[in-house]
Structure 1
């Protein structure tokens, strides 16, 4: 690959991937927004619905990791097409089934197909933009997720009210197939690689042992912070619509609108934070300050707000406000953390490292809804208490993960160590220089 940046084509691909993220998050949230009628029709308890919500993530992590590594060698254009096609077809059984078992099976398959969606799309987009231009396009792509949640909050309750909850799944299937058809025409593979850098022996196709990457503190902290943040996201997607209805007493239409408002608040905040981070980079601010510290502070603040739901005497509108602000702050980490991983990992291993990060993060999606379901069933008086305890537990975890990120995420140091490791391996492997010279180079760096 060469440093071949073509702005027009790059932004067309960005637009298509933004639409893909919109569909992706509609798929994720549809069960949460149809939870009440599904629970009533299928006769499910909160604990049982928690298992259904968590089932989506049972293979999500595995597939994100596996396909992430496949993306190192297979064209992302065809991986994305295949995944989107599976998302679309698997919606069909929801139109007919009344079996909780079939619902679980379909959600497991859907999760397995959607797990690699974000990391592969991110890897694909990074092939179109050089490092210093990556924050904004990734942030724009992630706004597809925000738009999907906003559209879901308004549209899904309305569709359910007019045509029943099943129709939502049919519409999502058609939307996915339409995207696949357009992607066959417009989807292309990018050709941008990072410059060779200043470390002798490093190159655009360099590789280092995965034990070096997975032992790096920056990479591990992005995984940890992503995990605790995803716990909060999973609760927002699966239990917040139910909490608004059964916990705070809003009817389905108003609950959907409140959900949409909460999502709408996050969009400009996330864009503002992402743009702010990119401006800091352009002014010469370190990646640690502009990406690592910035994102960690957002996670800590959001976690504290979720813990605030436990404050006695809060009115429903005050609780909604806490959820809105808490939901607005963390999404910026998905663009900033992806940029950090891409900064540290070699291009040839970027897909696998980002995919593995998504795999680790999404494990929280398997665990958090189940734990919240248990808490809702145990703490049922008042009705809202179990939901609020579940959100607060996620908030405490987010605060701890954010503090770890503040302390140990140092992208520049990690990137330098990875480049030196690559240079060392290349020199030793090719036997083009002696060991003392290489060791001297590392000491100087």
Structure 2
């Protein structure tokens, strides 16, 4: 009996393929989950000026408040990743969303700096695993060759969350005060919890290009995390997340305090990078899937594409402080949007080099370490702004992105690393 032929045949089959309609319903429920996730993050930046005024905060104190969201973000992402190996993702996501909603409530009751910081720490701990858990849940509904588009759609949740949420939250802030903006997110979060409890399901896809869990090699985490694909993806993801953290925490106050725009105008302008990110994410998913169907290797369709995007965003970051008017806004939009496509790419290529039994933990470790950039970026930027202004802070972000993008182009090679780890035939 030809065992290699048998394994090849099995590798092409999808175990327990679910209906396409149910798969896409789950995908769009997860999209709503990610939408709320990023609205929760963005509200602090949108309310930065009144919060700093009411609580008498310096830029470095506001930076600490923004970084507080990430104090337990990375740790919880890793811990929950291991939990997801044993607990159905439906229930993991449900508990996370309940905590998100409840963490908004104390802000309404006259919370000062300490309570607000504590609420942001709790919120960050519950939101840390959001992206990898959503990706892990979606991966159970799609085979590998069809995951790029749903992954990109889930990453659009960040852009859509702010694009839809920014004007609405800004209107609440202007007319009712910043505390009510936080409470409105509690209400939206609880609606999602009810809908997910009724409609959420666990997927049944095992894989299409790898051995079944029973036949998989026992690959140590160390080998996965020291592979070129993981390290290159981490470098690009860290740089892109540094930029994303600044977009959430510091771009709104920069538009108001640095460029002199009003609160309402800022609420509109801040949509531009997020709207562009939504377009770029959707385009990346469609282009990558198109290339993969035509036999283009994942190294090019995912690794090189993502690395170039992060590098170009870094160049735009270095240039926009030197420009003015519409050109500055265009470059700012590009700088804070294009690199964001790498998050879906990083998680997808990491799924390629991870056994099914390790995938949830590997994705969570990846996000947990990448998002340490969120812990550092707002506070470091606050110190820089307080000392020498905004421009040097943008230079730091730009250099990180150029270097991170280059490393991704050079080292992300998922097919090669999957073979080395025994997950693909030689």
Q: TM-score range by the shorter chain?
A: over 0.9
Residues 315-349 of structure 1 show CA distances to partners (whole Å, capped at 9, x for unaligned) of 24332211111223112112111110111101111
1:302 and 2:313 are equivalent in the alignment: yes
| Runs of 4 or more consecutive aligned structure 1 residues displaced over 4 Å after TM superposition | 201-206
Which protein has the larger Cα radius of gyration, Structure 1 or Structure 2? 1
Residues 390-438 of structure 1 show CA distances to partners (whole Å, capped at 9, x for unaligned) of 1221110111111111111111001111126xx9xxxxxxxxxxxxxxx
Partner of 1:333: 342
Partner of 1:352: 361
CA pair 206-188 structure 1, distance change in 2 beyond 3 A: farther
Query: Does the residue aligned with 2:339 lie in a helix, a strand or coil?
Result: coil
Partner of 2:196: 183
Partner of 1:24: 37
Contact kept, 8 Å, 1:217 with 1:409, in 2: the verdict is: yes
Partner of 1:102: 115
Contact kept, 8 Å, 2:213 with 2:357, in 1: the verdict is: no
Partner of 2:125: 112
Q: Residue 272 of structure 1: which of 279, 283, 306 is its match?
A: 283
CA distance in 2, matches of 1:51, 1:188: 38
Aligned residues: 413
Partner of 2:390: 387
CA offset at residue 205 of structure 1?
Answer: 5.2
CA distance in 2, matches of 1:45, 1:8: 51
CA distance in 1, matches of 2:173, 2:99: 24
Query: Does the residue aligned with 1:331 lie in a helix, a strand or coil?
Result: helix
CA distance in 2, matches of 1:299, 1:346: 27
Provide structure 1 residue ranges, at least 5 long, that are not aligned to the other structure: 380-385, 424-441
TM-score scaled by length of structure 2:
0.94
CA offset at residue 196 of structure 1?
Answer: 6.4
C-alpha RMSD over aligned residues: 1.7
TM-score scaled by length of structure 1:
0.90
Q: Residue 405 of structure 1: which of 402, 405, 408 is its match?
A: 408
Contact kept, 8 Å, 2:304 with 2:408, in 1: the verdict is: yes
Q: What pairs with 1:29-428 in structure 2 (closer than 5 Å)? A: 29-195=42-208, 197=210, 203=214, 206-311=217-322, 314-379=323-388, 386-419=389-422
CA distance in 2, matches of 1:30, 1:47: 18
CA distance in 2, matches of 1:399, 1:86: 36
Judge which range, 325-334 or 106-115, deviates more.
325-334
